[in-house]
Amino acid sequence: MKMCVCGKGGSGKSTVFALLAEAFTKIGKDVLILDSDESNASLSWMLGFDHPPDPLMNLVGGKRYVQQKMLAGFTKGEAEPAMSIWELEKITSRTIPPKNVAQKGRYALVATGKIHQALEGCACPMGVVTREFLRKLQLAPDEVALVDLEAGIEHFGRGIENSVDLVVCVVEPSLESISLAAKVMELTKAAGALFAGAIINKISTPEQEGIVASKLSELGIPVIVKLGLHEEIQRACLQGRPLEISLTSVEQQEITGFLDRCLKTS
């Protein structure tokens, strides 16, 4: 099963992602983690890695090379989703070169690449690499793939969701975040993936939870997990420490129930 986590900027995608990844390991899954956010570097330390792996962008020849391949493809009239920069027919977590994958327990972390310099060009080459990696990725029976995405919905335009099974949207208590979830649901269906629903995050009062849940329900968006505003998460993120936090038993049960359902449907 390949699942991606998306939502509004700062809603808690990477935090929720790290919690889901850990929960998958607790039910015996190996987790192939793809960090496809071209801006933020937090995911690797949230998951307890000392260093991120060398990016896939370097493995395929570098951003400039991908830009040139894209330009050549456009000149020939190719559509971007059809472009290919990997010669391999299939990719598995065992065939990725060791320097491009960081291992820790049941985690295998790969990263598309980050923007490093002003004027280095747009992030479209990252989209090409992420899309083809996901399309060619073949998982072992006890393995799941999780993709942490950049904020917003540009990744839908790049066709990333066409290569995953399931999309989860993280929603924080704001109208903007709720509205984006409706768009994510619509785009997920159009991409042919399954929209799992919303994970409400950073809830500080039962009243707030009720308002967010009812607005999501009006939009036909299922709520799969509700997570409170945890000081422990804020502290870990301020100090750049791994997210080793204690969720409430209800939060844990909701996450486990969700993962069980995901595995049954995939």
Which single residue brings its beta carbon nearest to Mg ion?
A: 14
CA dist 196 and 173 (Å) reads 19
- Our finding on whether 11 is near Mg ion (CB under 5 A) is no
Candidate list 1, 124, 139, 151; residue touching ligand ATP; CB under 6 A: 151
CA dist 112 and 186 (Å) reads 26
171 closest CA partner among 235, 142, 139, 214: 214
Binding part of the chain for Mg ion, among 7-15, 62-70, 160-168, 230-238 by CB under 5 A, reads 7-15
Q: What are residue 4's phi and psi, to 5 degrees?
A: -120, 155
Candidate list 11, 44, 112, 130; residue touching ligand ATP; CB under 6 A: 11
- Our finding on whether 40 is near ligand ATP (CB under 6 A) is yes
DSSP 106: T
- Burial class, 136, CB count within 10 angstroms (exposed 0-12 / middle 13-18 / buried 19+): middle
- Our finding on whether 44 is near ligand ATP (CB under 6 A) is no
Residue with tokens 């939870």, as numbered in its chain: 209
Q: Collapsing DSSP states into helix, strand and coil, what is residue 1?
A: coil
User: What does 53 interact with, of Mg ion, ligand ATP, none (CB < 5 to 8 A by kind)?
Assistant: none
Binding part of the chain for Mg ion, among 39-47, 57-65, 77-85, 243-251 by CB under 5 A, reads 39-47
- Our finding on whether 13 is near Mg ion (CB under 5 A) is yes
Q: Is 7 or 70 the residue whose CB approaches ligand ATP more closely? A: 7
CA dist 148 and 115 (Å) reads 16
Give me the residues that bind ligand ATP (CB under 6 A), please: 9-15, 37, 40, 42, 151, 201-202, 227, 229-230, 233-234, 237
